[in-house]
Amino acid sequence: MSQTSPNSASIDDEYFRPHYHHESFVNELSKNAHYDDLTLALSMADAADRVSSTRFGALDLHVEDKPDHTPVTDADRETERTLRSIIAEHRPGDSVYGEELGKAESTGRRWILDPIDGTKNFVRGVPVWATLIGLEVNHELIVGVVSSPFLHNRWFAVRGGGAYMGMDVDHASRIHVSDVSQLQHASMSLSSLSGWKERGDRDKLIDLTDKLWRLRGFGDFWQYMLVAQGAIDIAAEPELDLYDMAALVPIVTEAGGQFTDLEGNPGPWGGCGLATNGRLHAKVLDYLR
């Protein structure tokens, strides 16, 4: 149920209605300095999807609790091994920061991997999970790929080349954030409330959500991709690691949005994340910091 109804007089100005038409962007993107890195990341996503998809819903799926009380499965580890083997073959000088198999410091070029973002969904049979692949070059997030095989969707971006939704550069739609500029017309997604309580900001968050048009819990990677494609306007989480965010940042920003921590510092470095369409960012920060 909606909290409030947007003013009908402003619908044309405030509602962004995405239109997706797949076409080839090979000629355009091939001019980008990091095109080869993007195509490698997309091929890595293909390989990851093959591994993770075969284990989704498997009766013999092995699940363990990590020290932080989050689950890890054999599918998480095997997917990350697959990604690391491709990097070792094609980019042997690059370092790797992964959720399951080691977090290396950057050598100037570093791949940042979350083999299965949404492991709790994966374990319970909820089809909202994805592999996240980010490339950091000299402390800048250059390439991002988010591949969700059971949502039958993929999002990707390269610095200076735009953001896209589609399986590869030859079959994709360019995506953009929304034009919504007022909180009372905005749609926001959260993953949970517990982290906000631990941070001491839950009351601030609730005050913010009272001002919105709509609040839903799409969660994890998906809420940030919905911001990038203009389907919602705000997504935020109070507790995140670098591997949760690195792939998301280029996609959100190349789609025209903003990605910061909850203090307003750009990028995925602050242990938390806020993504908006940009027009709402300062207003949301006013409530949350």
Binding-site residue numbers for Mg(2+) are: 99, 114, 116-117, 244
Residue type for position 220: D
Q: What is the DSSP string of the chain?
A: --SS---GGGHHHH--------B--HHHHTTSTTHHHHHHHHHHHHHHHHHHHHHTT-TT--EEE-TTS-EEEHHHHHHHHHHHHHHHHH-TT-EEEETTTEEPPPSSEEEEEEEEETHHHHHHT-S--EEEEEEEETTEEEEEEEEETTTTEEEEEETTS-EEEEEETTEEEE--------GGG-EEEES-SHHHHHHT-HHHHHHHHTTSSEEE---HHHHHHHHHTTS-SEEEESS--HHHHTTHHHHHHHTT-EEE-TTS-BSS-SSSEEEE-STTHHHHHHHH-
d(C-alpha 98, C-alpha 231), whole Å: 29
Binding residues: 99, 114, 116-117, 244
